[in-house]
Amino acid sequence: MDRRARRIVEIAVDLAERDGFAAVRMRDVASQAGVALGTLYRRFRSKEEILLAALQIESMGLEDILREHPVAGDTPRARLRHFFSVATHGLCSKPNLARALLRSIASAEDGVTEKVAEYHAIITRLITAAMRGVVLDEGTPTDDEATVAFLLQHVWFATLVGWAGGLHDTEQIIEQVMAAADLLLRGMER
């Protein structure tokens, strides 16, 4: 991402952190980033695209953290708990931004599908590494690993949406994901 695009994303993140999804207005982002509105629209077609770019930056930051401090635990379950704890607390530590990111992931805006797929690929890689207990970027997931990662992401997303709506707290997110992980890991052992 070039410097101008990164600045645009940073402005959108600041607005979302402060006042949530509705505060990320394209005109305000352009003005605060010092770019023409047309320039902004040539780079990002919607605020959802900008926020998904922010999500990619956040997920790459999570990758960096996990490279420096590998997922702890002696079993796949323990490592998954550590991974989802770090990921959940990191995301939810900025609640207004987290809610804006979740809303962007769930949007039906043109152009977001590819960005959501890229995010899912990153999270699949991180979940697979956690299950294996290895450093990142070590091979393609098996079919079972890919299925477990896919399903855990969906449980995680659903519980994050529940958190965003005030249904439960971050610890409950982790417990719900781990209940699913327990069932899926037992299924892989058969």
What is the C-alpha separation between 128 and 12, in angstroms, rounded?
31
* Domain 48-189: homologous superfamily in CATH: Tetracycline Repressor, domain 2 (1.10.357.10)
Give tens-digit pLDDT for 134-158. Answer: 877 678 889 999 999 999 999 999 9
Percent of the chain residues past pLDDT 70, beyond the cut: 98
Q: What is the pLDDT of residue 156?
A: 98
Spatial CA neighbour of 52 closest among 94, 113, 126, 4 = 113
Q: Where are the domains of the chain?
A: 48-189
Q: Find where tokens 């070039």 sit.
A: 2
Sequence length of the chain is 190
Pull the structure tokens for residue 169.
């707290």
Q: What is the pLDDT of residue 10?
A: 95
What is the pLDDT averaged over residues 50-76?
89
Render the burial of 8-19: b for 16+ CB within 10 Å, e for the rest: bbebbbebbbee
Q: What is the pLDDT of residue 109?
A: 76
Model confidence, pTM: 0.90
According to the 3-state scheme, what is the secondary structure of 79-95? HHHHHHHHHHHHHHCCH
What is the C-alpha separation between 82 and 131, in angstroms, rounded?
11
